[in-house]
Each structure stands twice: as C-alpha cells, then as structure tokens.
C-alpha cells in the first residue's frame, strides 16, 4: 500500500444517533506510515471523544465537508451519508462503510450514476478467515452483545451474582441468551462475568461447544428442529418449525430472569422466538433485551428498536437501538481497524484497484465506475450482479451496526 497523494477522507456521520467515526487517530497514524494522506471532516470524531487536535497530531488535515468531498479519493464512513452529500461526489471517488445496499437502493443508484465505487463492509463474507480483520459486523456485534448484557443488568432490579449479606442470601440471576452467534456469545460472556448463571440456545446444535466453552449451559429443545444451514449459518425455519420452536421456548422462558435475544439468519427477518404468551410466563421484574429489534420486527413479539416497554405484569422489554453507537469510543477504534484492513486490500500504488478475482472484493464492491451506461445506471437499483443483493420482502433492515 504505497501512494503519492492518495487522500482518504473521514466523513462526519449524519445518521440520527450515530456517534461513531470511521477512523480514529491511532489508525490515521498507521495509514500515514503506509504512505496515505488523511483528511478529516471538522468535528468528525468529537462525539466519539476523538477531538480534531488528536487527528491533526496523528498527521491528518482537518477540512470542512465541501473540501473533503472535493479532495478525497476514498471517503470512509460508518453509516451511509445522506443523499445530498452523495450527490456532490464525483466519478473516480470511492465510498467505503456499512452502506446496507439492500436498505439503501437510492444511495447505490446515485453511486452508480455518478461513477462512484461503493464498497459495503456489511457484504463481507464473514466465514473467510482472510476477511476477519475487515469484519466490521463482527466487531460491532461483539460490542452490542456486551452492551445488551449491561443494559439488562441495569434494568434488572435484583443482583446478577449470588449475594451473601448479613441480611440474607440472594440467588444469582438466571440469564438466557437466544442465538449463540457473535453478539450472543459476547452477551453470554458478559453476563457470566457479572456473576449470573448463564444459558445459551441456538438452532444450530454445533454452537453448543462454544456456549459451554464460556461457562454457560446449552439449552436443548427436543421439540425444535435442527436449523444448521450452509456456510456456518442457520437456515430459515418453516412456519411449522417456527411454531414448534416458539412453543418449546415458551415452556422454558418462564424459568429465566433475563432473556437476551440475538437470533438471525442473514438476509431474513429476525425470527420471533419470544411470543407475547412467553412474556406472560415470565416473573414480574424479569427483563428481556431484543438485540434483533429493527424496522422489520425482532425476536420478541411487540419489541421496537430504541424503545423500552414495561408490560402490565411487570416484565421489561428493551428493544435495542444502535448499541455500538452508545460506546462510540471503543466501537470506533475497532471499526477503524476494520476500515484500515479494507483500505489495505483496496488501495495500491496510489489508487483504488478492484481485482475481479478477489473473492472479498467481489462480495463487497457494489458499484464500479463504468459498470453501466449513465442512462441505465440512473434507473438502477442494486442487483445480484453488483453484489448488493436483490431487495426482497425478507431483507432485514441492514442498519449499520
């Protein structure tokens, strides 16, 4: 990765509630050492506690939005910039971030029309070991799982660990985590470190060893189907299988004080695992955190993102919003390392180079300059050939997390 005058531009995020920033001073230094120049939009890191001065000390040049959009060869962001901002970009530039193409067809259409290369980190093939250093969904899901356990602990009005006091002994909280992927394992580990008795459940039986390895029990539901799919992912269940799973879970959920749900099959709506009847079976004071809550539903019936509901019978349901943004300093530092690793793959000899044989680039590059004639691109929505995926009823929110 050597370059003369190749500018990476760090955008100030504009999405509501987004406090993260795509590069932090430490990664700016590293990119500078690798021969790249970095422009940072004034105030880009302020909400994540990275002041402009720290970027300047690391060798970045602080500029205003117009200067950045004009000069940057590769613009980096967390969430997609708004339409007005994208409209000001020009042919030959590239945009890298969690662009959620399926949820943002206008953005992708605009990039195609303008000849801007759009690179979306959320399309990264997560199972490729070569891709791990760039895997922003994984780094951010780890933060989200951790934060979900803290949220649950704060809302739960009893102790998580066993407490022996002169006034008597309080039993430890029983915590169930549904979905033992990245966020789920992080939530399990955190709840365990807080002293709770933890149990994990996943539709893929092969996750049982991972759950046990962090000191949790694995919940086996004899009436629920084996949901292992291909490539290490779960498969979507049929309606009948879903109902059987809900019923089996309903019988067990009442025995837990805290439930944290993180179940999802990529590209599908989150499955409903906790029904209203299951919530009714929980004791007053119990807490449920739905990490999968989004505009297309969640794992918990009735949950909504960024909303806490206390049900009549005293059960608190927390629909998680953008949890990594609530720990913007740490989440940005991890995200920045993912961005730097992707920059390393994308940029060589002072230019963005898209090796068509590279399986990571084939997956993440959504638009390339010259992909299509301008008239065609103007009407374009992302299609499978662009790597953006078709927009179907089953697509999830694709929110940048």
Q: Which residues bind ligand NAD (CB under 6 A)?
A: 137, 140-141, 144, 178-184, 202-204, 207, 227, 234, 237, 245, 262-265, 270-271, 273, 291-292, 320, 322-324, 401
String of DSSP letters for 19-36: ---S--HHHHHHHHHTT-
Q: How far is the CB of 220 from ligand NAD (least distance, A)?
A: 12
Nearer to ligand NAD, 144 or 281 (CB): 144
Assigned token pair, 295: 């505009």
Nearer to ligand NAD, 61 or 225 (CB): 225
CA separation for the pair 299, 359 (Å, rounded):
32
Q: What are phi and psi of 387, to 5 degrees?
A: 90, 0
CA dist., res. 23 & res. 9, Å (int): 9
Q: Which of helix, strand or coil describes residue 9? A: strand
User: Quick one: 368 or 401, whose CB is closer to ligand NAD?
Assistant: 401
Which CB, 183 or 281, lies closer to ligand NAD? 183
User: Residue 96: in which H helix or E strand, if any?
Assistant: strand 94-97
For CA atoms 107, 109, 115, 119, the dihedral sign is positive
Nearest distance from residue 258's CB to ligand NAD, in Å? 16
CB of 36 to ligand NAD, least distance (A): 29
Q: How many CA atoms lie within 13 A of 88 on its CB side?
A: 13
Q: At its nearest, how many Å lie between ligand NAD and the CB of residue 69?
A: 28
3-state DSSP call for residue 53? helix
- Give the residue at shortest CB distance from ligand NAD: 181
Could you tell me which of 180, 155, 179 has the C-alpha nearest to residue 258? 155
First vs last Cα of the chain: how many Å apart?
Answer: 28
Neighbouring residues of 10: CB distance < 8 A, sequence distance ≥ 6: 21, 22, 23, 28, 38, 39, 40, 41, 44, 45, 55, 60, 68, 76
Minimum CB separation of residue 302 from ligand NAD in Å reads 16
* Residue 217 phi, psi dihedral angles, 5° rounding: -85, 155
Question: Of 9 and 324, which has the nearer Cβ to ligand NAD?
Answer: 324
Are the C-beta atoms of 161 and 184 separated by less than 8 Å?
A: no
CA-wise closest residue to 145 among 193, 77, 91: 193
Q: Which two tokens stand for residue 42?
A: 């004034």
Tell me whether residue 20 or residue 401 sits nearer to ligand NAD (CB atom). 401
CB of 45 to ligand NAD, least distance (A): 20
Quick one: 45 or 298, whose CB is closer to ligand NAD?
298
For residues 39 and 63, is the Cβ–Cβ distance under 8 A? Answer: yes
CB of 249 to ligand NAD, least distance (A): 8
- What's the closest the beta carbon of residue 119 comes to ligand NAD, in angstroms? 20
State the minimum distance, in angstroms, from the CB of residue 385 to ligand NAD. 25
- Nearest CB to ligand NAD, comparing residues 70 and 235: 235
DSSP 343-391: HHHHEETTEE---TT-HHHHHHEEE-TTSS-HHHHHT----GGGTS---
Cβ closest to ligand NAD, residue 25 vs residue 227: 227
């Amino acid at each position: 990765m050597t370059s003369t005058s190749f500018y990476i531009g760090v955008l100030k995020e504009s999405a509501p509630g987004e406090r993260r920033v795509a590069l932090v001073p430490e990664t700016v230094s590293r990119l500078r050492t690798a021969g790249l120049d970095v422009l940072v939009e004034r105030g880009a890191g302020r909400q994540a506690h990275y002041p402009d001065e720290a970027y300047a000390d690391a060798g970045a040049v602080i500029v205003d939005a117009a200067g950045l959009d004009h000069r940057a060869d590769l613009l980096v962001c967390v969430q997609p910039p708004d339409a007005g901002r994208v409209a000001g970009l020009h042919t030959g530039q590239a945009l890298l971030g969690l662009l959620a193409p399926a949820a943002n067809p206008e953005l992708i259409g605009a990039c195609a029309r303008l000849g801007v290369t759009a690179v979306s980190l959320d399309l990264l093939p997560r199972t490729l070991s070569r891709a791990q250093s760039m895997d922003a969904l994984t780094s951010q899901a780890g933060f989200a799982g951790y934060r979900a356990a803290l949220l649950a602990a704060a809302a739960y009005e009893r102790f998580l660990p066993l407490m022996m006091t002169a006034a008597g002994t309080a039993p430890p909280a029983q915590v169930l985590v549904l979905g033992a992927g990245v966020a789920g394992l992080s939530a399990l580990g955190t709840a365990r470190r807080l002293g709770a008795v933890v149990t994990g459940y996943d539709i893929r039986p092969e996750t049982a060893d991972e759950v046990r390895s962090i000191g949790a029990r694995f919940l086996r539901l004899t009436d629920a189907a084996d949901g292992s799919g291909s490539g290490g992912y779960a498969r979507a269940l049929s309606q009948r299988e879903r109902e059987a799973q809900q019923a089996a879970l309903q019988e067990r959920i009442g025995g837990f004080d805290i439930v944290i749900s993180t179940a999802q099959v990529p590209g599908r709506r989150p499955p409903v695992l906790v029904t209203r009847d299951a919530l009714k079976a929980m004791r007053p004071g119990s807490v449920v955190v739905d990490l999968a809550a989004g505009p297309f539903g969640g794992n918990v019936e009735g949950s909504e993102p960024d909303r806490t509901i206390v049900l009549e019978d005293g059960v608190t349901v927390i629909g998680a919003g953008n949890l990594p943004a609530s720990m913007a300093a740490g989440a940005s530092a991890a995200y920045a390392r993912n961005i730097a690793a992707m920059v390393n793959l994308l940029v060589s000899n002072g230019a963005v180079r898209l090796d068509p044989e590279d399986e990571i680039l084939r997956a993440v590059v959504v638009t390339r300059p010259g992909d299509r004639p301008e008239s065609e691109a103007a009407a374009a929505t992302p299609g499978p050939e662009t790597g953006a995926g078709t927009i179907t009823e089953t697509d999830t929110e694709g929110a940048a997390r």
